[in-house]
Structure 1
Amino acid sequence: MTRATGVGSMPGTTDGDHVEATRLVLGELPDLPHVPEVPGRGVTAAMTGRGLAVVEGLGADLQPAGWRLTDADGVDHRRARSLLAQDLDTVEELAQDYQGAFKTQVAGPWTLAATVEKPRGDKVLSDHGARRELAQALAEGVRTHLADLRRRVRGVDRWIVQVDEPALAAVVAGKVPTASGFGRHRRVDLPEASAHLEWVVSAIVDGGGEAWVHSCAPQTPWALVAGTGAHGLSADLDMLGPADLDTFAEVLESGRTAALGVVPSTTPAGGASEVRTTERVQRWLDMLGLDPDGVGEQLVVTPTCGLSGATAEWAGSAVRLSATVARNL
């Protein structure tokens, strides 16, 4: 059976909004709920801050230019870790009776390298040693994080860890701006890009989890991602080009997972039709030469990226529509 889940982020600005988001995903996405993220609460709750909260063995602090690695944890880094623990307390409490698969999310090594600065400034991306150290610290932190999740929600028999890499396309294309904004960092060679992702994917697998990689950016190198050992690829359907069809077909044919963002993340002007959305996915599968009955639960339906920018009402509608489309398929 085709399943539905969320990408991760949800609208809101308070801790109470996170509680409501958790109730929503547990109630409306019973086949594959996820740990909600509510980045509207501030930088410590946003993707980079939450990723640094998982990283083990490295300190960080928030500077005027953004997150920066430091010798010791700064107050904002401690806040990010505290907020993550608080959110997991909420999930633990509300999911006490849950049985089945569950998904969580973490920023990937290249997205962190492109958004976090070295101690003396400029992005971690600019330094081979620094980006290797950050990726390895993330991999180690993911192992610990996954063990914590397994302890908290004991009814989960399958933890999926979605590695968010929206910056990967820019990293391998040499499009990440330098600190001055006047230049661009050198492109990262594909073997190195793959190796850093592989460290994180392997850490997830070693911890008993299932690794997915998600990106909502165009021109993401999906063939590279598929070669890292990730079990699932997650993308907005609008961002996939003709060159990506073979990769996603091979993933599904090999028994792995493809998660497609097909439900708009903000209220569409003309409304959203479950029939049209279902037919759109069916047409895409037809282009791949696959039948919905044949892919079953390997196909996952999600809203598109950016649900944190939606109204609370539309977020609920988008989650329910995703579940309906999955049932239709």
Structure 2
Amino acid sequence: MRVAVLGAGAIGAYVGASLCRAGVEVFLVARGAHLQAIRESGVRVHSPRGDFESRPRATDDPNEVGPVDHVFLGLKADQYAQAGPLVAPMLHERTTLIAAQNGIPWWYFHRLPGPFQGRRVESVDPGGAVSAALPLSRAIGCVVYAATEIVAPGRIRHLEGTRLSIGEPDGTDSARCNEFADAMVAGGLKCPVEPDLRRDIWIKLMGNIAFNPISALTRATMAGICRHGGTRGLVVDMMRETLAVAAAFGVYPDVSIERRFAGAERVGEHKTSTLQSLERGKPLELEAILTAVVELAGLAEVPVPTLRVVNALAGLLEDGNTGG
């Protein structure tokens, strides 16, 4: 089996290194000092589960990779629309695109029975640009429950969690999903094939939709947001509205707000990825996490006043951060 990782950042390099030690032929598409370090010394993973090293092939040119069986997308969601020329050289007729992203994916309504089947979510697929770059028929969803970070070029610190749930948009138990999942398990990761991955999407979104924008607006850590009475109440309101939107589309996450909050508190003095992006002057990637949910709320006529206010504030912050 041949797997390419497009966007070999913290999660991408961790997945690629894990697959490589399972004997998969892995290609990491990276750049800069990170690429150079991987070429010279491979990927070194430091983990409470045990350190390990892998030597996947690495390049900055997808043409050097050629067709593969699976492309694992470690890109940010706002990079998907421009990914077409990078992905194209790595495709054959059955290549899958495994999208490891937070929030609502561009394929959300693909093959979803009901009145919205085939509808485009403009916030994450503006004008169909992402669907054109990443064909829906190739999409496999992925929800990441692992936490990693790049501590130096070519060096990944695995903080917690090894589960990356995957699933077909139509919920079928496909051979292509099982093939990838088996390789992930052989590499030491958990990779359940979920019959309803949208439920996992909303479970993770419950936390992301509140903590990510609030952290960027306040510069607070997860623990700081939980400790402050005002922001704690704001998080609860945002989670309740999010669950109402999910229910309008037939999804009922089996995780309570209290349990989701407790999980966030355990993370401690951690800066969300959105806050880290803000501090680096990079895009905040809130379209998929927040704006898309507001769009879906409008589609289903669900009132989400708190989400709308936070979305407006975060949008203004994004404009100032990126010069928009």
TM-score where L is the length of structure 1: 0.34
What is the TM-score with the length of structure 2 in the denominator?
Answer: 0.35
Higher relative contact order structure (alpha carbons within 8 Å, sequence separation ≥ 6): 1
